[in-house]
């Protein structure tokens, strides 16, 4: 039985190594996700400033088109002035022309203001884009480094998986099946019971008779509390030298 336990303990060591590697690697995807969020946020910030600039330029173009259309309308009205037969009609049309020209002046002032705002906004966009370029390089480099580390761990896990296959072949089939059932729920699945009869997995006491049987038989049992496979600690101790 000792040889069977040694084989199972060797397999468990490999499984614990695999679990440790995977546990250590869990941080990399989280860190990459956080960095990608920062990258997306930086891009969104640049896009927001570009949108503001586009809106200012769109408003300016719309006003410029309105001024052009209004001037065409005024020219047509001015041409019709000489056609007016009554002073009342002439005065009404002249008043419309005057209002339209004043509106053109107001729109022209708004165009100038929008042009000034757009000029300021272009500088904001330029600064944001420069900052984004620097930040992107830093974040992309850090993400690439984390992907490299993750790939290294995955390669290590693959190597250790190969060792597990070898170790599993050395374990008694029935014992291996029992071990696999337990390890899917908790690890380590195989634990010693220490004097005066305490499961080293869950720290609960093992009934005295059960513990004495373990010590005498040098076999295995199941912890009544955590269902781990248990054995007396001295079972795997090196035999005394002859």
pLDDT at 240 over 80: no
Q: Tell me, what's the pLDDT at 130? A: 93
Residue 190 pairs in a beta bridge with 229
Count of CB atoms within 10 A of residue 79's CB? 9
**pLDDT (tens digit, 9 = 90+) per residue, 25-41?**
989 999 999 999 999 99
All residues at 6 or more sequence positions from 49 whose CB lies less than 8 Å from its CB, including other chains: 121, 124, 125, 128
Task: Evaluate whether 6 touches 171 at the Cβ level (below 8 Å).
Answer: no
All residues at 6 or more sequence positions from 125 whose CB lies less than 8 Å from its CB, including other chains: 46, 49, 50, 53
Q: Tell me, what's the pLDDT at 234? A: 85
The pLDDT confidence band at residue 239, using thresholds 50, 70 and 90, is low
Reading the block at residue 50, the tokens are: 């570009």
Domain boundaries, the chain: 18-169, 173-236
pLDDT at 237 over 80: no
How far apart, in whole angstroms, are the C-alpha atoms of residue 182 and residue 165?
18
Give the strand pairing for 229-232 and 190-194: parallel
The answer regarding whether domain 18-169 maps to CATH 2.40.50.100 reads no
pLDDT at 93 over 70: yes
Reading the block at residue 145, the tokens are: 């480094």
The pLDDT confidence band at residue 238, using thresholds 50, 70 and 90, is low
Length of the chain: 242
């Amino acid at each position: 039985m000792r040889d069977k336990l040694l084989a199972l303990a060797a397999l468990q060591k490999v499984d614990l190594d695999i679990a440790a590697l995977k546990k250590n690697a869990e941080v990399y995807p989280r860190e990459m996700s956080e960095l990608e969020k920062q990258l997306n946020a930086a891009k969104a910030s640049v896009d927001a400033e570009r949108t503001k600039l586009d809106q200012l330029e769109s408003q300016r173009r719309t006003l410029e088109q309105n001024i052009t259309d209004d001037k065409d309308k005024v020219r047509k009205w001015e041409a019709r002035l000489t056609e007016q037969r009554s002073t009342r009609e002439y005065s009404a049309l002249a008043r419309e022309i005057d209002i339209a020209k004043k509106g053109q002046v107001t729109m022209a002032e708004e165009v100038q203001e929008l042009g000034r705002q757009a000029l300021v906004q272009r500088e904001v966009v330029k600064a944001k884009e420069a900052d984004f370029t620097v930040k992107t390089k830093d974040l992309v480099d850090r993400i690439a480094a984390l992907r490299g580390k993750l790939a290294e761990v995955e390669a290590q896990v693959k190597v250790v998986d190969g060792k597990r296959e070898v170790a599993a072949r050395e374990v008694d089939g029935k014992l291996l099946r029992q071990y696999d059932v337990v390890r899917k729920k908790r690890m380590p699945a195989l634990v010693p019971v220490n004097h005066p009869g305490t499961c080293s997995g869950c720290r609960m006491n093992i009934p005295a008779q059960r513990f004495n049987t373990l010590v005498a038989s040098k076999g295995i049992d199941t912890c009544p509390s955590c269902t781990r496979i248990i054995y007396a600690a001295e079972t795997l101790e090196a035999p005394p030298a002859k």
